[in-house]
Structure 1
Amino acid sequence: MAVTTNQAKTEGLSYRRFKEGEKEGQFRTSQDKIFQSSWTHKCPEYVLATPPCQGSCPAGEDIRGYLNIVRGIEKPPAGVTWQQYAFERITSANPFPAVMGRVCPAPCESGCNRNMVEDHVGINSVEHFVGDWGLENDMKFTPAATSTGKKVAIIGAGPAGLAAAYQLRLRGHGVTIFDEHEELGGMMRYGIPGFRTPRAMLDTEIGRIIDMGVETRLKTRVGSDVSYEEIDKEFDAIFMAMGAQSGRPLPVPGAEAPNVVTAVAFLRAFNEGRLQHVGNRVVVIGGGDTSIDVVTVARRLGNVTKAGTVDERPSAENVISGHMAHDVASVSAREGAEVVLVSRATIDKMNASKHEIEHAQQEGIEILGGVTPISIVLDAQGRATALRVADFVMEGKETKLVEGTERDLPADLIVSAIGQGVDFTGLEQFNNNNGLM
């Protein structure tokens, strides 16, 4: 007697998954629902391609590779833990896993295929964990055993310069880093607030690279303290890694006021420990992650109302410009500042990470989206007292103001966080006149 398909499936089995009358579709597993969320008569076509997460990573990390290690799909060699194996895989492309695990906006997660099903894989969290494991277990980098005899000068000790030094030492080249600051790290140290990149963690990750035999010449600006021509003669190659450490000023009338500063200058003064408090009302113009850093710092610094008169205390702009420094003792008297973030983009379309925006709002920061700055309102002494904004509509590439929507946002300090460029002082021959090389 011929058997039916269902009979064939169960014949000779001591266990039946379904009872009579039940259909398999009623018992689809969660995994079935995820990977069989739609049905088609078409056969899938498999192509060799870069995983979308990896293709979205500016650092070129082998994301699928180290996730497979963490999941246990790819096994480490004998005697090597999966944590060490994952650390080595990540750092083959990026020597700062602990830093990046904390501050990277994670475009890889935006490109993750899982977004089409439920939510992205927590790639950033995995990198954060593996990076911290490397710190706790004192992981080191080993340079090439033999030297090529070649020497490379690197201008700039930020993430790009340090990462280049790491890759060059792996290949046996001699490396010397030139930087104008007192400490290594560039924007990781002088741009990102310390509560986001703890300094002990940052120092350890930088130290691994220096311990590979990298020479440093700090407080040395190429183009001022030493000429470009001198290092060009001394070294076989030069890597330009100056970074974008020049803030873009606000392009509106009145932006020359002393209490209108750039985000780069503001964050540098804070990270150097000179800026201890700000005015009572701070207005920040931006919309990216840098503007979120500024408003968060301003909110936490707050205003001092009990430490003498206004005339006795250095103004925030004088501290930011480097002329003075606040007394650390005044910190005990500070109160939360009123901080407003102004963005041309609406809140849902701001470039800043969604979770960063939410954290800022939780800290009491007001975000005003969909408006554009018109001008800075000045007093008789030439100081800014408010930022004038208005609603607008775009007509092609032109901004058209909506009549009758102008209003003033009172401010003691206005910070422009609308972009950055390279400081080409002494290296003007490389300037393309757009703030880039």
Structure 2
Amino acid sequence: MLQIGKVRCDELLKACGSPLYVYDETQIEKKVEDYQTYFKSENFDTEIVYASKAFTCVALLEKLNAYGCSIDVVSGGELSIAKKANFPSENIYFHGNNKLNDEIIMALEYGVKTIIMDNMYEVDQVIHLAEKLKKEVHVLIRVNPKVEAHTHEFIMTATSDSKFGISIDQKDDIKEMIAKVNDSEYVVFDGFHSHIGSQIFEEHAFVAAIDKMIAFIKEMGEPTSVLNIGGGFGVRYTDEDTPIPTKDLCIKLIEAINQSLHTHDVQLDKVCMEPGRSIVGEAGYTLYEVGFTKKTQNKEFIFIDGGMADNIRPALYDAKYACDIANKMDQAKDYTYEVAGKCCESGDIIIHDAKLPKVETNDILVVYTTGAYGYSMASNYNCLNKPAVVFVKDGKARQVVRRETYEDQLALNEEKELQL
């Protein structure tokens, strides 16, 4: 029987039901410690900013705060979880390409220190609202460095026509954005942000983006104290993936930053990075119970009690995962199966051609590396309830997000007359 954090998978399902998201706290802590230890320089301060869109809940944010991390949020909903966790507002960065007025106001009133500006219209709006509320806020301008990384087209963020940020070629527009900020009473310009994509394995893509951004800072000639180099560091989903070890990656990035600062004669007070998936991805597991099986002309299916509602990535990105039968870890994998979900879609296949032992009803399927973009992208498709989330460590388990119920979903079905 597979154990996660020294806790048996069957005991977890007995206590919390299936499907179930499980996080190994020790793995999360080790990743955070590696980033905090190795992303360091004698020439500038550094800051680890967790990209909470990968996965967020109160318990995780409390842990990250205890480790001295900052976080970024991209919506009022993510900010509301940060507030519930009493996450320090001065350690929150607010992202997004189309922040709503209510979200900007929420960030300002909570005292969020830094907003990442995406476009000229947002500059005007943040200045207007900050002055109206008399709230000071610092800003970074998101610049698209136009460094294309080898990853899925849906998660590239630095192509010429990306929806994120302002092109590095639009220097006059960027200067105008900075001038508007500098003329304002409550908004303070700190520097720039860039991000080239997600699930990237080639270090040279990050190095190229860093050098391009520091050369850009030199060319702009604007007083700049902060550079945020983004995230996007890859994780291992299957044996085909070869992520760079966190220690090696951090050391190489620091070397690249120092070299580029020297080459272009630029000084910075602080450099930030934004790991998300790489902190929680491999620490997360999803457990399912196997229901029926079915043979067709060319395939044999095993049906699980979850699917694309709790993991949309295979259908959305053609993402690949590895799996095992948690209660048959000592048996040979002599059979090939299609692992299919219960949603009413032909595309609800979690894993193609999975090599497993002989699978039977009530077996426990474990899918690895589901800690990022599993729960955070979960839906109620087919009115399925979202699974619970459990943290495990050293033989102990705690539920940190309860399982959704039908009553939770029905509570939104309220009818009222509208006064138009």
TM-score under structure 1 length normalisation: 0.23
More strand by share: 2
